[in-house]
Chain A
Amino acid sequence: FTKPVPANKTDTWLLGERYLRRFYGMQPGLLGNPKSSDVMTEKIRAMQSFFKLEVTGKLDDNTLEVMKKARCGVPEVAEYN
């Protein structure tokens, strides 16, 4: 029922980053150390809030599970220009 979480932490982080860039308008080039990235935390929180997940700002199992599901490519929050 639950897809396994990638063992490699970098893979997990890259998956999250790719998802947030695509759907939450996270700008490339702004991110520093994953631990100190407020931008990414903020975007994860927005995503968790939209999907009614527990808002932790972290890439926990439930968040990754939603990120891995098949979906439509229209951003949730980015403004269409």
Chain B
Amino acid sequence: LFPRKPKWQNTLVTFRVTNYTPDLEKEDVDRAIHNALKVWSVVTPLKFKRLREGIADIMISFGRREHGDHNPFDGPEGLLAHAYPPGIGIGGDTHFDEDEIWTKDSHAYNLFLVAAHEFGHALGMAHSNDPGSLMYPVYSYTSGFPLSEDDIKGIQELYGPNPDHKKVKPQPEAPKKCDPELSIDAVTELRGEVLIFKDRYFWRVHPQFTEPELALIQSTWPQLPKKVNAAYENSEKDIVIIFSGIRMWALNGYTLVPGYPKYIHTLGLPKSIRKIDAAVYISDTGKTLLFTDEEYWSYNEQSGTMDHGYPRSIKDDFPGMQERDGDEVDEVDAATYKNGYLYLYHENLQYEYSYNRRKVVRMMKANDLLNC
């Protein structure tokens, strides 16, 4: 929230659109603004009323460079929009940079998302440092309901909850890399970097970066689903395969390979398999292991076929993975392979399995690979 927590004193807040961008149809601008206001009214008792003339609490306009508030925009890119916290006069007013390209989809800048962020300011929200929140100051595209728990906590501190609102599903808060209970969804290398997927996010661990970088999956690859189940790199083919549900995508570098998504069943898996939990390419053998529930499969990358004799039991072939309570681990969340060692992740632990000695030689916290 802003210092001294400015807010509107009435729950009925008026708005007026003073001009339109030529980038979109008027109806599309109106719809984006309507939906952006609704994002906030659905979680608070606030109601919004449109005025066609006169002074409204929130005056909405598109302008370029110096546009009347001595707070100029900067041409294409850079600043996208700004808004003033609740108050008389300019308070609540929301301005969009006309030098940007405004869209209603994931291309360029989505007006609905930017408007929802700005209306957050117009209602009294400052910036958040959670990259998954709507009030994070840097633009990224996301689909679905855009508020995170952090956003909802903020706005409800000002206005309280909506007594009769339908249940909304907020975006979860960004995972904390050094949380001792952190489990991961998938891990893969990509041209020497390590990508670690968790919920809607992924960390990028680069040998030249001192700190892992957190980003939203959808802001890097809008075509990918929000959550990833498994991933592996075939460094010889210079390709990374990403699995989500019954589909898989291929990346060459950070670029999606055309012709995907494909069904995982094209690899030779039976139709009963609906999800791959973990995948890892063993460079020494040219085989990719695909883990599904309590079993795993072996895929021959060279012939493009599944090896005979599979699926096999994870518990039987990778013995020695024990949880704290002594139970044997029979499912894995993620897997990687390096220098003869297979790293199998389950909940907040990783098991270092020696391929030669056929046994678990070390146990570590899953977030060891995030420098924790």
A52-B129, A80-B85 given; A72·B211 CB < 8 A: no
**Complex Cα gap A74–B237 (Å):** 45
Decide yes or no: A80 and B84 within 8 Å by CB, A72-B114, A72-B117 being known contacts: yes
- A66 proximal to B (CB < 8 A): yes
Q: What residues make up the interface of A, taking CB atoms closer than 8 Å to B?
A: 1, 23, 50-54, 62, 66, 69-74, 76, 79-80
Query: Which one of A62, A66, A73 has the highest number of Cβ atoms from chain B below 10 Å of its Cβ?
Result: A73
Query: Known contacts A1-B254, A50-B129: does B211 contact A71 (CB below 8 Å)?
Result: no
A interface majority secondary structure: loop
Question: Which chain A residues border B118 with CB–CB below 8 Å?
Answer: 72
Contact of B80 among A1, A51, A62, A72 (CB under 8 A): A72
Contacts of A70 in B (CB 8 A): 77-80, 100, 109, 138-139
The contact string, 1 if C-beta is below 8 Å from chain A, for chain B 111-138, is 0001001100100001101010000011
Q: Which of B38-95 contact A (CB under 8 A)?
A: 71, 73, 77-85
Contacts of B137 in A (CB 8 A): 23, 71-72, 74, 76
Contact A52/B214 with A69-B139, A71-B138, A74-B126 known, Cβ cut-off 8 Å: yes
Q: A70-B109, A71-B138 are in contact. List 9 more A-B contacts (CB 8 A).
A: A54-B210, A62-B211, A71-B79, A72-B79, A72-B83, A72-B114, A72-B118, A74-B83, A79-B2
CA distance A51 to B137 in the complex (A): 9
B222 beta carbon closer than 8 Å to chain A: no
Q: How far is the CB of B121 from chain A (nearest CB, A)?
A: 5
- Size of the B side of the interface (Cβ < 8 Å), in residues, is 34
| A66-B138 in contact (CB<8A) | yes
- Nearest A-chain residue to B211, judged by Cβ: A54
A80-B6, A80-B85 are known contacts. Are A74 and B80 too (CB-CB below 8 A)?
A: no
Binding site for A on B (CB under 8 A): 2-3, 6, 71, 73, 77-85, 100, 109, 114, 117-118, 121, 126-127, 129, 131, 137-139, 209-211, 213-214, 220, 254
**A1 → chain B, closest Cβ, in Å?**
5
Considering the chains assembled together, what is the distance between the CA atoms of A23 and B129 in angstroms? 14
Docked pose: A23 CA to B152 CA in angstroms: 24
Contact A62 B213 (CB under 8 A): yes
In the assembled complex, the CB of A46 is this many whole angstroms from the nearest CB of chain B, namely 11
Residue of A nearest to B72 (CB): A73
The A-B contact count (CB < 8 A) is 66
Given contacts A80-B2, A80-B3, contact A73 B71 (CB under 8 A): yes
Q: Is the CB of A79 within 8 A of B3?
A: yes
Distance in Å: Cβ of B154 to nearest Cβ of chain A: 14
Residue of B nearest to A23 (CB): B137
Residues B127 and A74 in contact, CB atoms below 8 Å apart: yes
Looking at the assembled complex, report how far the CB atom of A61 sits from the nearest CB atom of chain B, in whole angstroms: 8
Q: What are 12 A-B interface contacts by the 8 Å CB criterion?
A: A1-B220, A50-B129, A54-B210, A62-B209, A70-B79, A70-B138, A71-B139, A72-B114, A74-B121, A76-B127, A76-B137, A80-B3
Measured between alpha carbons, how far is A1 from B114 in the docked complex, in Å? 23
Give the Cβ gap from B251 to chain A, nearest Cβ, in Å: 11
The 10 closest A-B pairs by CB, nearest first: A73-B82, A73-B79, A54-B211, A69-B138, A70-B139, A71-B138, A71-B137, A79-B3, A54-B210, A1-B254
* A54 vs B71: C-alpha distance when bound (angstroms): 30
- A54 CB contacts on chain B under 8 angstroms: 210-211
Chain A nearest CB: distance from B358 CB in Å? Answer: 38
Instruction: Identify the closest chain B residue to A78 (Cβ).
Output: B3
Minimum Cβ distance to chain A for residue B125 (Å): 9
A74-B82 contact, Cβ under 8 Å, with A1-B254, A52-B214: yes
Chain A's closest residue to B215 (CB) is A1
**Which residues of chain B are within 8 angstroms of A69 by Cβ–Cβ distance?**
138-139
A26 to chain B, nearest CB (A): 16
Q: Please, which residues of chain A bring their CB within 8 A of the CB of B6?
A: 80
| Chain A residues whose CB sits within 8 angstroms of the CB of B77 once the complex forms | 70
B174 to chain A, nearest CB (A): 9
Chain A residues, CB < 8 A from B126 = 74, 76
